[in-house]
Amino acid sequence: MQKIIEEYIDSHRDEIIQKWRELVEIEAFWSETDYTREVAAYVKQLFEDAGCECEMVDPDPSIPTPPVVTGVIGKDRPGTPILFGGHYDTVFKRGFLKDHPFRIDEEGRAYGPGVLDMKGGIVIAAYVIKALEAAGYNERPIRISFCGDEEGGSNHGKVADVLAESGRGCEYAFNMETGIPKDNAICVGRKGAAAGKFIVHGVAAHSGNAFEAGRNAVIEAAHKMLEIDALTNLETGTHMNVAMVKGGLVPNQVPDICEVTWMCRFRYMDEMEKTVKAVNEILAKTFIEGTTTENIYLGGGNVFEDTKENNALVDFIDKISQQYGYGSVGRIFLGGGSDAPNFARYGAITICACGVLGEWNHTDREYAIVESMFTRAKMWGAVVTHLSEHKH
């Protein structure tokens, strides 16, 4: 079966590049909803051409939200489903393409908005399915689920819930995010984030004539900021970041207001819950009598936890990859977020960074290694056909 998969990928190299080019050339900044629908329609057609039954799901029709493209092939197959997923949006606003067109240089690197993050991974998933179909694969249903606002957090419009439903009942999920060139690594976990802001209200006063009548909101906020910063725990991977501070009007006034925004990163959900609770306790304290503090939680979660099941799956992938001559596969834990925890919500063993290899995503230097489009498509084809051998 693997020989047929390899022959299919090799005989469609030009077509794969062309589909990749077409997808990159439809710009898709995550908040430009009208334009993201164009990309969604292309992605839907791409997987329908692969044989999937697809639909575009509006997560929350009450607000403008990029649709989630979902689909399935072989829904009546006997095995437990697997999922290929991710996002089709980018961080680049419409117009970026004009000065940064899709191109491939003499070193075999492709450039263009989203070429790496993560339109290459979408095309890989489509051609894995096509190659499996050509090889007569019929063991498991294969689902797909791609959203259009991951770069904005995948939280607005209940997108995360739609992705989670796609993963419900799946045994494995492969998030086709940016592939990591170093060690050909697969991502086994990612940090989640939580954020909030607080507004300290004090009492304004002339700093010379009525200093004692004032209650300095900036100093009250400073006490709180220092205690929040002290919650950083490098051993557990908890990073606190007091990021934005706004307070005071002029140097000769005791400031009566100060607004502070904070964000933190976590490796495990229990650390997030413990740390957010500690932040709330800090903000409930008063250091300067006569000040009050508003505590506004902006949300958090989405931790992709590094589990023994994830690591065991990477070990299995490494064995299969080396068996067929695609090289060894490493593992990595990353700080940035992705949709992987959404797919894992209901128990699917999930790994991330399964897409085309490259570097510098979110910058105008973003590039993808063209040959890895084909190697990874072949590798995932082999992995899927051997999944029944993996015990967990």
Contact indicator for 150, 328 with CB cutoff of 8 Å: no
Find how far residue 137's CA is from the centre of its chain: 29
Q: What is the largest CA-CA distance in the chain?
A: 86
Residue 245 to residues 195, 252, 262, 282, Cα–Cα distance (Å)? 14, 19, 9, 17
Tokens 């839907």, residue located: 44
Count the Cβ atoms, other than its own, within 10 Å of residue 281: 10
Give pLDDT tens digits for 313-360. Answer: 999 999 999 999 999 999 999 987 889 999 999 999 999 999 999 999
Residue 229 to residues 120, 199, 222, 224, Cα–Cα distance (Å)? 39, 17, 10, 9
State the average pLDDT over residues 36-53. Answer: 96
Q: In angstroms, rounded to a whole number, what is the distance separating the alpha carbons of residues 37 and 24? A: 14
Q: In angstroms, rounded to a whole number, what is the distance separating the alpha carbons of residues 336 and 345? A: 18
Q: Which domains does the chain have, with CATH numbers?
A: 2-190+304-389 (3.40.630.10), 192-301 (3.30.70.360)
Q: Report the alpha-carbon angle 26-110-172, nearest 5.
A: 75
Contact indicator for 380, 203 with CB cutoff of 8 Å: no
Helix 370-386 and helix 13-24: axis angle, to 10°?
110
Count the Cβ atoms, other than its own, within 10 Å of residue 290: 13
Q: Which DSSP string corresponds to 61-110?
A: TTS--PPEEEEEE-TT-SSPPEEEEEE--BSPPTTHHHHS--EE-TTSEE
Find how far residue 267's CA is from the centre of its chain: 15
Give the model's pLDDT for residue 7.
98
Tokens 């790994």, residue located: 351
Count the Cβ atoms, other than its own, within 10 Å of residue 325: 10
Give the model's pLDDT for residue 156.
54
Residue 35 has which token pair? 């334009």
Give pLDDT tens digits for 92-140. Answer: 999 999 999 999 999 999 999 999 999 999 999 999 999 999 999 999 9
**Nearest CA among 126, 120, 118, 119 for reference residue 52:** 126
279 pLDDT band, cuts 50/70/90, is very high
Residue 163 has which token pair? 């992705």
pLDDT greater than 90 at residue 157 = no
Give pLDDT tens digits for 191-226. Answer: 888 999 999 999 999 999 999 999 999 999 999 999
Q: Report the alpha-carbon angle 272-226-207, nearest 5.
A: 140
